[in-house]
Amino acid sequence: MADNSIERVQVLIIGSGPAGYSAAIYAARANLKPVLYQGIQPGGQLTITTEVENYPGYANGIQGPEMMVDFEKQAHRMGADIRFGLATKVDFMKQPFKIWIDEEKIIEADAVIIATGASAKWLGLESEQRLNGYGVSACAVCDGFFFRGKEVAIVGAGDTAAEEALYLSKLVTNVHMFIRRDAMRASKVMQDRVFKTQNIKIYWNTDTEEIVGGKNVTAVRVKNNKTGAAQEIPISGFFVAIGHQPNSDIFKGWLDMDEAGYIKTVPGTSRTNVEGVFASGDVQDKVYRQAVTAAGSGCMAALDAERYLSAKGIH
């Protein structure tokens, strides 16, 4: 590969969304001249969210994609160099770090901030994708408010599904909870809470066949995978809680991760096990997974990167 395809930068930010853009804002203000590659989904998960009502500062709420445009514009105004492109490979063996963009261009960076996020796991139904944002959601904490006083369904059997079902139960009339097997994976304490909540109705051995609706969700068709009995349940909201997948594959072998693939950071910081590489947002957060916490950790990553570069005498 010719040397002219290699570009040297001080700080490379991999991924957009609240974490990446916040890191870009802070890094640009610190005169680190950050370069940000937006990744496969510029703006991250919020671009597939409709109304965002829980982000501070937007008194009347805002559409997710519009909010990400605001974040991007602010980062750009501060001087961040924002580009289309996907990081496809990294080499963190020595500094400067090497990052391949779209498998061809190489960036050499003194510090790297990872903000690649996580992707919700979906059931794989056509109707699920078509109605995503129109009654279908992968985040009860984000979207439960819109279904206050209505009937909703949730699919999932782990702690996250149990937590989200309990959260929804405080807002809606009934939660129809579909579990594929005859047992839940959730911890005993979470299961007990679900069983004791009167407006959560559990359907064991149940598969979701189709989410019904034209412009918005109106019902869900389910089938008992033991008896074959099918039924259609009227609902306004359908929540998928079968887990998230952190977008961390290209960092495997370089960075310490947990069993699910979330990048481990030193508690209270954004530092990874590789000095000079920082992780922020949902790629390292499986607990909160909110736009506001992602933005906060992006800020932390930029400040950590600035201190690291200053200590090295690079900045």
What sign has the CA pseudo-torsion 247, 250, 255, 259?
positive
C-alpha closest to that of 165 among 238, 83, 262, 91:
238
d(CA 252, CA 219): 41
- In DSSP notation, 193-217 reads HHHH-TTEEEETTEEEEEEEESSSE
**Annotated catalytic residue within 70, 81, 139, 207:** 139
Phi, psi angle pair for 111, to nearest 5°:
-145, 150
**Annotated catalytic residue within 142, 282, 299, 304:** 142
Catalytic annotation on 139? yes
**Annotated catalytic residue within 81, 91, 110, 143:** 143
3-state secondary structure of 153: strand
Contact 262, 247 (CB under 8 A): no
Catalytic annotation on 142? yes
d(CA 205, CA 192): 19
Catalytic annotation on 91? no
3-state secondary structure of 6: strand
Q: Which two tokens stand for residue 46?
A: 């919020």
If you ran DSSP here, which 8-state letter would residue 183 be given?
Answer: S
Alpha helices in 43-112 (DSSP H): 64-78
- Positions marked active-site: 139, 142-143
